[in-house]
Structure 1
Amino acid sequence: MKAREIHEFLNRMWEDILRLNEELRSELSEKGFKVEDVEEVFGAYIFLDGEWKVMKYPHPAFEIKPQMEAGATPESYYLVVAVPRERINENFTGAFIEIFPRSFIYGSDDFLNDVYNWRRDGRVSPVEVLGRIEESDERVFQFEANFGSVEALKRGILRTIDLGKRFGIFDL
Structure 2
Amino acid sequence: MNVREIHEFMNRLWEDIFTLNEELKKELPENEFKVEDVEEAFGAYIFIDGRWELMKYPHPAFEIKPQIEVGATPESYYFVVAVPKGRINEGFLALFLELFPRSFIYGAQDFLSDIYNWRRDGRVSPVEILEKIEGSDEKVFQFEADFGSSKALKQGILRLIDVGKRFEIFDL
> C-alpha distance in 2, partners of 1:112/1:154?
26
Q: Does 1:99 align with 2:103?
A: no
Note the residue ranges of structure 2 that are not aligned, 5 or more in a row. none
Q: List aligned pairs for 1:10-159, cutoff 5 A.
A: 10-30=10-30, 32-159=32-159
1:60 match: secondary structure? strand
User: Take 1:56 and 1:62, find their aligned partners in 2: how far apart are those partners?
Assistant: 18
AA paired with 2:104? F
1:102–1:147 contact (8 Å) kept in structure 2: yes
SS at match of 1:138: coil
Q: CA deviation at 1:29?
A: 2.8
Q: CA deviation at 1:134?
A: 1.1
Task: Provide the C-alpha distance between the structure 2 equivalents of 1:53 and 1:31, rounded to a whole number of angstroms.
Answer: 37
Q: How far 1:30 moved relative to its partner? A: 4.5
Q: Distance in 2 between matches of 1:91 and 1:31?
A: 27
Deviates more, 1:126-135 or 1:28-37: 28-37
2 CA distance for matches of 1:83 and 1:125?
Answer: 19
1:166 match: 166
Q: How many residues align?
A: 172
Q: Residue type matched to 1:39 in 2?
A: E
Distance, in Å, in 2 between the alignment partners of 1:35 and 1:28 is 8
Look up the equivalent residue of 1:122 and give its one-letter code: G
Q: What is the CA-CA distance between 1:135 and the residue it aligns to? A: 1.4
CA contact (8 A) 1:29 1:35 kept: no
Q: 1:31: Cα distance to partner?
A: 6.3
TM-score by length of 1: 0.98
Name the SS for the 2:40 alignment partner: strand
Q: What RMSD in Å do the two structures reach over aligned CA positions?
A: 0.8
Structure 1, residues 53-89: CA drift from partner, whole Å, max 9, x if none? Answer: 0000000000000000000000000000000000000
2:28 is paired with a residue whose SS is helix
- Tell me which stretches of 4 or more aligned residues in structure 1 moved more than 4 Å: none
Q: Report the TM-score when normalising by structure 2.
A: 0.98
Distance 1:72 1:10 in 2: 10
Give me the identity figure in percent: 75
